[in-house]
Amino acid sequence: VSQHVKRQKDANESGHRTGRKRISIRPAKGGKTQSILTQVLDKGRFQRLGQTLTLNPGKTLELRCKGTKIGWSYPSYLDTFNDSRLSIKQHEKFGQLTLTSPSAADTGEYSCWVVLCDGDECEREPDRNSATYIYFTDKDELFVPSAIHFEIVFLRPDKSATVPCRVTTPKATVSLHREVPPEEVLADGSLISYNPTKGFILHNPGPEYAGAFYCKANITTKSTPQVSTKYQLLYVEVPSGPPYATIKSSSNEVSGGDIFNITCTVLGEPEVEVSFSWRFPGQDQRPVSIQNSWRLTNRGVGYTTRISQSVMIVDDVETIDFGNYICTAKNSHGETSVATLVNSYD
């Protein structure tokens, strides 16, 4: 059995949409003067935006970014649901983002950047970009609504994890709670910290954090606290990387008329999909059966791993079936090839 690993190059950043009257621009409190992102206010007034902005829901949001070719980024669900409330246009000297009837669910980061093009080749100008986190505050929706009522958060030993209970107002007081045993998990700022734009960040997660959790939010103007969606925290045993693959044949020595199978197995991260491909002696000449499957399994206390398998079945063996069987497993981090030799008894 042999194994060859090929690491995939980092993918480029996923793309986003791109898109003469004298005006006066009023800097936002705490804003950076070099920001190229502004909010259009009423009566032809503009406000240059800083790191955060708090707005009431319902009123149309219009943002502008100075430049002849502008790229935009915004909360991803607006793309997921192809939301018609969102409009992006490119004008001669600025890009324009308009969001009608914004709600608490639209809370998130809005950013823009200048795109430079040389012929058909375009790239993002690194020094001309701006980002603002916008809260659409709703007293009845302290947490940013989610279409998922039970989310899974994977904990890995090699990086931090986030319980994404974001809020719609920076004034909310938020706490993290475990369901069983029922207890509050304190954010000490070292092992666990809270960022209202991200949620609770577990900086060095271990298996002791596995289990069901939820968040609770309070504001001074509302006596009853609100509870977030539930989060299932699963500890992952396998670190990120190309697939770790093994290959095994039910028999490495067969004779004519026999049946044998070869199993290619990958242990990996629970949410990382794996695809398989095969090369074998009778390829394109002999019919074979290939079955792919995957499942989540607990390996040890609190450790969750995804087991992906591809099984090739060779029936009624002929001479052409003797030789090397090569399985290639591929995921978003790269690919791995493993091989095994099947010989004749004779």
Judge whether residue 300 has pLDDT over 50.
yes
Strand 52-55: give its sheet, edge to edge. 52-55, 121-136, 108-118, 70-73
Q: What is the pLDDT of residue 117?
A: 87
Judge whether residue 32 has pLDDT over 90.
no
Q: Are 65 and 48 in contact (CB under 8 A)?
A: no
Q: What is the pLDDT of residue 28?
A: 46
Contacts of 43 (CB under 8 A, 6+ apart): none
Q: Tokens 């044998």 belong to which residue? A: 260
Distance CA 321, CA 280 (A): 8
DSSP code per residue over 88-114: EEE-SSEEEEEESS--GGG-EEEEEEE
Q: What is the pLDDT of residue 81?
A: 66
Q: What is the pLDDT of residue 195?
A: 94
The pLDDT mean for the chain works out to 85
Q: What is the CA radius of gyration of the chain?
A: 27
Distance CA 196, CA 198 (A): 6
pLDDT-derived band of residue 4, with 50, 70 and 90 as boundaries?
low
Q: What is the pLDDT of residue 267?
A: 84
More confident residue, 292 or 29: 292
Please report, for residues 85, 86, 164, 227, the alpha-carbon distance to residue 81 in angstroms, rounded to integers and kept in the order given.
11, 11, 20, 25
Contacts of 345 (CB under 8 A, 6+ apart): 253, 254, 255
Judge whether residue 271 has pLDDT over 50.
yes
pLDDT tens sequence across 211-231: 899 999 998 877 788 999 999
More confident residue, 259 or 299: 259
pTM listed for this prediction: 0.66
pLDDT tens sequence across 117-167: 888 888 888 888 999 999 999 888 999 988 777 888 888 877 899 999 999
- As a whole number, mean pLDDT of residues 97-114 equals 94
Cα distance between the two ends of the chain: 21
Distance CA 287, CA 282 (A): 8
More confident residue, 234 or 106: 106
Q: What is the pLDDT of residue 23?
A: 39
Alpha helices in the chain (DSSP H): 77-80
Q: What is the pLDDT of residue 8?
A: 56
Contacts of 157 (CB under 8 A, 6+ apart): 205, 206, 236, 239
pLDDT-derived band of residue 18, with 50, 70 and 90 as boundaries?
very low
Q: What is the pLDDT of residue 37?
A: 92
Q: How many helices (H) and strands (E) does the chain have?
A: 1, 28
pLDDT-derived band of residue 44, with 50, 70 and 90 as boundaries?
confident
Judge whether residue 239 has pLDDT over 80.
no
Judge whether residue 261 has pLDDT over 90.
yes
More confident residue, 201 or 244: 201
Q: What is the pLDDT of residue 331?
A: 93
Judge whether residue 21 has pLDDT over 60.
no
Q: Which tokens is 46 given?
A: 């503009």
